[in-house]
Structure 1
Amino acid sequence: MDWKQAWSTTTNTTNSALDSLAPVCAPFAVRWDLEADRRNKLRTQGHLKALMAAQKEHNAARSTHATAKSQQLTARAASNNPFAAGRRAARVASKAASRHEKDTRAKLKAARVNYPSTLKARAIQAHSVHAVPSAIASALTSTSHLTVWPVATSAVLIGSNVAALALGRRRVRVPVDESLSLEERQLMERLDPSYWVEHAPDRGLSGTVTTPPAMEPGGVRCEIRLDGTWTVKTLVEKVDSVRALLGARTALRIRITSASRGGWAVLSLATRSAAAGVSSLWTPDRIPSDPLSMSLGLDTETGNEVLIPFDERLLVSGASGTGKSWSFRPLMATAHLRGDLLLIDGKGEEANIWESVCRVAVEAAEIAAAIDEAHAEMTRRKHDMKKRGISVWDGHQLTVPIDEGQVVLAAIARDKERLQRLIELSSLGRSRGVVLWWATQYPLTDGSAPGVHKLIAPNLLTRFSLRVAGTTQAQVALDDCAHYAPHQIPDGREYRGHGYLKGYGPRLLRTWTLDDAGVRALPKAIWTPDQSTSGQAPRTPLHLVKDTPAPPDAATNRDKVLAAVQSGARTARDVADATGLNKGTVSREIKALTANGALHRADDGMLLPGRDAA
């Protein structure tokens, strides 16, 4: 046997066991030391002199009272008349001496409080109260052999007191990894139970005890035992006191949640991100094999990939500059590669990138037409499902993302019929394979310019929120999970694309991103209503093809529209038929060509080449 190794193993095991018991005994040791320190500070020369004077005065008062009592008894024996002068005088003197003795006794008690015994002496006195009688009881109850259990009980009590003090004063050594930053070392030292219990009362956290902290991929983590009336909710309200006790910087995210057992809380300090070493750029390889789920991003605390339902209605919220559009793109790309995509873009910037990939709608007329066609497709699928006797659409999914929701609602606010169709898309479309996704900078349902309609918002069950403006927006963005506080996400470039997912827990997620080049590399698939067929099976997913440079003479959409008009097309429909482009793209290019003078409209509305083009 390797005795050295065995000794080392035994020592390490023993130290680990003692370290685990130390936080349990720490409150007792702290109370003991505080009381001992209080008593020692009161034991001054002034208080000692006051105590000695009080004792002297009390002894004199007791002597006087005893003398007066004796004289009263003598007077009572000398005369049977209770109203005799001698008896009355003795009685009055006895009462005065009694009152004086009581007054001096109260003063002596106060002096003893001001000059108390040491806590060690008081403990010895307390243990003697049961140790001495126990020894006497052992001797008296012994007959043929010695009865030792009373003495053993006293010894156990004394030993428990001493052991609890020793464990409570034991300084737990937290193993510190060399890779930790200076900030993390400081935080772990201050989360050490011995430091926490000693300084917690100064911050109003008395009654809480930490466990030795651990370093995890997302930062520092430890558990906190909640004694007395403490709850997780009250500890969350004291998060500023926790930050002050740890000396943590203001920008450091501190999260306090419930542990797996009652009376315990979990404290997480986001000193690092578990997603830091993983590229945020989305590729089609990120599409899960499960056709009913899609990848949203990574958990910054654990590094695990977070999946959300693909066929569920979605609300994405985020103030301007938080990376909402870039975070939304990977989800749209997934929908495009798995089925059909109809993008309704109220602002128009995203449509500039997606128009060469999928069907887009930007202008008011295009938005109205897109809503009508999506609603008509939903109705067509309803009749087809009834004819085939099925309850859930078994063909490919038509995803309708709306970005920005506030602009789209403003465009159709006065058109009640079209607004109703949009509401029905959110409430009835899912089972028919027409799924609405909603993105907005202003997650509000009230006011003159809401970001999402109050009848649409309840249908958007999957909700993801980046940083928003305030608590009102947070309530709409995450509904009953608004306490995740998305409005408190730090404002900085490094936190773009970071947000919270409803129901996942208050754990910050970092989404995937897709740049302009990645969108343009997606295969082209323009959805039109006449492409839908009855009982269509799920389409084979689209795949990316290797980028090849376009030939120098490749015509743009604008060139095609101009060439069609020069060839005799006179209406937008004629141009769409001639070029094969969707109506939204044709309308936008005609507007641009008219603005720069390449085209102009005749009095009857017909399109004619401009003078420059001619």
Structure 2
Amino acid sequence: MDLKAVSTKIAEPTKSAFVTITNTLDVMAPTMAPFAARWDAEADRRAKLRTPENLRALMDAQKAHNSARSTAASARAQRTAARAASKNPLSTGRRAARTADKAARTHRESAKVALKAARKNYPTTLKVRAIQAHAVHAVPASVTSWWLSTAQDWTFWPASVSAGLMTFNAAALWIGRRKAAVEVEDGLSAEERQLVERLDPSYWVQHAEERGLGGTVTTPAEVTSGGIRCDVRLDGKWTVKELAAQVDRIRALLGARTALRIRVTSGPRGGWAVLALATRSAADGVSSRWTPERMPADPLMMSLGLDTETGDEVLVPFDERLLVSGASGTGKSWSTRPLMATAHLRGDLLLIDGKGEEANIWEAVCRVAVEGGEIADAIDEAWDEMNRRKRDMKARKISVWDGRQLTVVIDEGQVVLANLKLDKSDEGKARMQRLIELSSLGRSRGVVLWWATQYPVTDGAAPGVHQLIAPNLLTRFSLRVAGTTQAQVALDDCAHYAPQQIPEDRAHRGHGYLKGYGPRMIRTWTLDDDGVRALPARHWQPVVFKAPAEPAPLRLVKGEDYVIAPPAAAVPAQPKAQPTNREKVAAAIAAGSKSVADVALVTGINKGSVSKAVKSLVDAKQIVRAEDGSLSVATQAGEVSA
């Protein structure tokens, strides 16, 4: 005989019955939980009131009440005796006895009130109170039933009913206090185990009411590569928006750490929400380093990064205008570099760097503009290129540019706008308008504007993006920003993604939200300095054509043959060389500027660079500095020109 098989066969039904009972109790626990919670709350309240001080006050109140009752009884007896001794109600004895009786009764009532208050402050335990209540029901009812019934009718006594009720109450308390054993997956961290257990419906329903979340019921949690997810049923007047506003209460109910990101979104159908806890990142284990192999096969798309919840690669349009926002230290420059590298490899790149640090890396790779004059020239040339392409498209009868894309990247838009505002001349105002037109008209002509700023605001004394440019930047990516005002500009109608709540720790640098993608965080690719230097060098310059030479006039020569030669073909001119700071300063002085400040204002070069250029020109005797400090151009004979 196989004893092991026999033992297994005998144990199987027992095990099955045990599992069935356990599952039944788990289902009943949420139903009994409110009763047990109210019972325990009342029992705790009574236990906290049963202090030695309140007991002493109760004993004193009982003693005072007994004394007052004795005094009242004596006064009543004396009043009865005085009434018997004299028939005159106005006699001194009867009036004194009546006054004493009234005072004693008043004292007895006040002592009774004080005793009632003392008993309330030192209540009996809830268990004793329940036994007393059942006794009050059972004893008189049992006596009455025995007195009015015969022996044949004693099958259903009130005492048995009370005993049954007491048993039911005890069972309800035990089931309501019961904590369901939740099975969780292997490989979970201690934090995830706790969160999964507390998201289980048996725990959630039992404790949701005390946290102000009554009327919500969770489903068993699911652990994914991006963290923990579960559905939440919304009963009564609950909505997804109202539940999302209660994230702090959800965090308290789950006992989650403050830095853990908790997100509430709409469910697949009405009356349901989805609760997501970012305990994991699907991007973990995947290198964030960008290489040219990361460029998508689709030439109209480029890779931004990885979805931290699903691990999917996130693509954005290559030929769309872009706004990148992020406070200092959030990894904005490193996150933008892979996009710039894609634009450089696929077309032409023009970097207008208001701060200058990023241009130090890119100046050997692409065309950069840092100083005021360089920025002005870059904007003018990009605008001229946009209009040249317009004329070319009209001549070729096409509506969309089919050549190389020129991507104009403005890094730290706040500084660039501030420099343009300093130029109060008509040319300065025209240059601002050209920048606005680049954002609104350039896309169809293959000139695309990308804007990056630490200050995504459109108003105030120092806006990070112009109020007429921001509406044209349809693709928006935001790292952590300072507050809700910046988030509104950074993500527009998707500001509820709350980029201002991204943790400030180093692990979340380069993490942000993409407008329209959903409130799922994206970890961007990064490109270090060596990766930028490894890119092929190609510096964009505007295409300049010379006007075709006019053909010579036709002449008729008598008696001789002649041939009409075709007009000469247009020959593209060489790109014009950029003037140096010294040449700009000399030209400004020749135009009438008399001081360093005037030259700096006209050329857009900072005063320190202007002073160096002036000193060099004075040493070369190309300009002369008068005694009053005014500057003028020196003539060949050494005299000062008028």
- TM-score tier, shorter chain, comes to 0.5 to 0.7
Q: Show structure 2 runs of 5+ residues with no match.
A: 1-7, 546-570, 585-612, 614-619, 623-642
Using the TM superposition, give the Cα deviation of residue 103 of structure 1 relative to its aligned residue in structure 2, in angstroms. 1.5
Given that 2:349 and 2:540 are in contact with CA atoms closer than 8 Å, whether structure 1 keeps it comes out as yes
Asked whether 1:489 is paired with 2:503, we answer yes
Q: 1:389 to 1:153 in 2, by over 3 A?
A: farther
* Mapping of residues 427-576 of structure 1, within 5 Å: 427-430=440-443, 434-445=447-458, 450-468=463-481, 476-478=489-491, 481=495, 484-486=498-500, 489-492=503-506, 494-502=507-515, 504=517, 507-515=520-528
Using the TM superposition, give the Cα deviation of residue 417 of structure 1 relative to its aligned residue in structure 2, in angstroms. 0.7
Query: Residues 450-506 of structure 1: CA distance to partner in whole angstroms, max 9, x if unpaired?
Result: 4433432344343323345677755654456287254753242x4332233345565
2-structure distance, mates of 1:378, 1:199 = 64
Which residue does 2:99 correspond to in 1? 92
Counterpart residue type for residue 435 of structure 2? L
Which residue does 2:324 correspond to in 1? 316
2-structure distance, mates of 1:157, 1:388 = 94
Which residue does 2:430 correspond to in 1? 417
Using the TM superposition, give the Cα deviation of residue 56 of structure 1 relative to its aligned residue in structure 2, in angstroms. 5.9
2-structure distance, mates of 1:457, 1:374 = 19
Query: Residues 8-62 of structure 1: CA distance to partner in whole angstroms, max 9, x if unpaired?
Result: 5775576567557656765654453343234235446775565466446545645
Asked whether 1:103 is paired with 2:97, we answer no
Using the TM superposition, give the Cα deviation of residue 513 of structure 1 relative to its aligned residue in structure 2, in angstroms. 2.3
Using the TM superposition, give the Cα deviation of residue 280 of structure 1 relative to its aligned residue in structure 2, in angstroms. 1.7
Of 153, 165, 168, 2:173 maps to: 165
1-structure distance, mates of 2:475, 2:389 = 24
Query: Residues 402-451 of structure 1: CA distance to partner in whole angstroms, max 9, x if unpaired?
Result: 22424433443311111111122223444665432111344455666544
* Mapping of residues 69-84 of structure 1, within 5 Å: 83=90
Query: Residues 285-334 of structure 1: CA distance to partner in whole angstroms, max 9, x if unpaired?
Result: 64557776543222324434334444543221234554323311332344
Which residue does 1:39 correspond to in 2? 46
Given that 2:229 and 2:274 are in contact with CA atoms closer than 8 Å, whether structure 1 keeps it comes out as no
Higher alpha-carbon deviation: 17-26 or 304-313: 17-26
2-structure distance, mates of 1:31, 1:18 = 19
Which residue does 1:555 correspond to in 2? none
1-structure distance, mates of 2:56, 2:136 = 29
2-structure distance, mates of 1:106, 1:229 = 44
Higher alpha-carbon deviation: 21-30 or 379-388: 379-388
Counterpart residue type for residue 368 of structure 1? A
Q: 1:434 to 1:247 in 2, by over 3 A?
A: closer
Asked whether 1:279 is paired with 2:287, we answer yes
2-structure distance, mates of 1:233, 1:138 = 59
Query: Residues 521-553 of structure 1: CA distance to partner in whole angstroms, max 9, x if unpaired?
Result: 767887666599xxxxxxxxxxxxxxxxxxxxx
2-structure distance, mates of 1:19, 1:154 = 27
Given that 1:489 and 1:499 are in contact with CA atoms closer than 8 Å, whether structure 2 keeps it comes out as no
1-structure distance, mates of 2:539, 2:352 = 13
Report how many aligned residue pairs link the two structures.
534
Given that 2:266 and 2:273 are in contact with CA atoms closer than 8 Å, whether structure 1 keeps it comes out as yes
Using the TM superposition, give the Cα deviation of residue 512 of structure 1 relative to its aligned residue in structure 2, in angstroms. 1.4
Which residue does 1:217 correspond to in 2? 225
2-structure distance, mates of 1:132, 1:387 = 109
Asked whether 1:327 is paired with 2:340, we answer no
2-structure distance, mates of 1:153, 1:225 = 39
Given that 1:471 and 1:487 are in contact with CA atoms closer than 8 Å, whether structure 2 keeps it comes out as no
Higher alpha-carbon deviation: 97-106 or 257-266: 257-266
2-structure distance, mates of 1:369, 1:97 = 106
1-structure distance, mates of 2:143, 2:536 = 96
Secondary structure, counterpart of 2:181 in structure 1: coil
Counterpart residue type for residue 513 of structure 1? T
Counterpart residue type for residue 500 of structure 1? Y
1-structure distance, mates of 2:401, 2:141 = 84
Higher alpha-carbon deviation: 215-224 or 70-79: 70-79
Given that 2:438 and 2:447 are in contact with CA atoms closer than 8 Å, whether structure 1 keeps it comes out as yes
Given that 1:409 and 1:453 are in contact with CA atoms closer than 8 Å, whether structure 2 keeps it comes out as yes
Secondary structure, counterpart of 1:424 in structure 2: helix
Using the TM superposition, give the Cα deviation of residue 363 of structure 1 relative to its aligned residue in structure 2, in angstroms. 5.4
2-structure distance, mates of 1:292, 1:94 = 104
Q: 1:111 to 1:255 in 2, by over 3 A?
A: same
Query: Residues 181-200 of structure 1: CA distance to partner in whole angstroms, max 9, x if unpaired?
Result: 45656777888999999999
Given that 1:131 and 1:151 are in contact with CA atoms closer than 8 Å, whether structure 2 keeps it comes out as yes
Of 114, 119, 132, 1:112 maps to: 119
Using the TM superposition, give the Cα deviation of residue 359 of structure 1 relative to its aligned residue in structure 2, in angstroms. 5.5
Counterpart residue type for residue 513 of structure 2? Y
Secondary structure, counterpart of 1:412 in structure 2: helix
Given that 1:299 and 1:510 are in contact with CA atoms closer than 8 Å, whether structure 2 keeps it comes out as yes
Counterpart residue type for residue 283 of structure 2? A
Secondary structure, counterpart of 2:124 in structure 1: coil
Which residue does 1:371 correspond to in 2? 379
Given that 2:484 and 2:498 are in contact with CA atoms closer than 8 Å, whether structure 1 keeps it comes out as no
Q: 1:18 to 1:313 in 2, by over 3 A?
A: farther
Given that 1:275 and 1:298 are in contact with CA atoms closer than 8 Å, whether structure 2 keeps it comes out as yes
- Higher gyration radius (CA): 2
2-structure distance, mates of 1:385, 1:135 = 105
2-structure distance, mates of 1:584, 1:361 = 14
Secondary structure, counterpart of 2:39 in structure 1: helix
* Mapping of residues 398-409 of structure 1, within 5 Å: 398-409=406-417
Given that 1:191 and 1:246 are in contact with CA atoms closer than 8 Å, whether structure 2 keeps it comes out as no
Higher alpha-carbon deviation: 221-230 or 327-336: 221-230
Higher alpha-carbon deviation: 183-192 or 428-437: 183-192
Q: C-alpha root-mean-square deviation of aligned residues, in Å? A: 6.0
Query: Residues 355-374 of structure 1: CA distance to partner in whole angstroms, max 9, x if unpaired?
Result: 67766555555543442343
Using the TM superposition, give the Cα deviation of residue 119 of structure 1 relative to its aligned residue in structure 2, in angstroms. 0.9
Query: Residues 58-101 of structure 1: CA distance to partner in whole angstroms, max 9, x if unpaired?
Result: 45645765776688789889999865667655643442233122
2-structure distance, mates of 1:382, 1:401 = 21
Asked whether 1:296 is paired with 2:304, we answer yes
2-structure distance, mates of 1:307, 1:157 = 66
1-structure distance, mates of 2:47, 2:60 = 20
Q: 1:57 to 1:487 in 2, by over 3 A?
A: closer
1-structure distance, mates of 2:94, 2:255 = 74
Given that 1:362 and 1:584 are in contact with CA atoms closer than 8 Å, whether structure 2 keeps it comes out as no
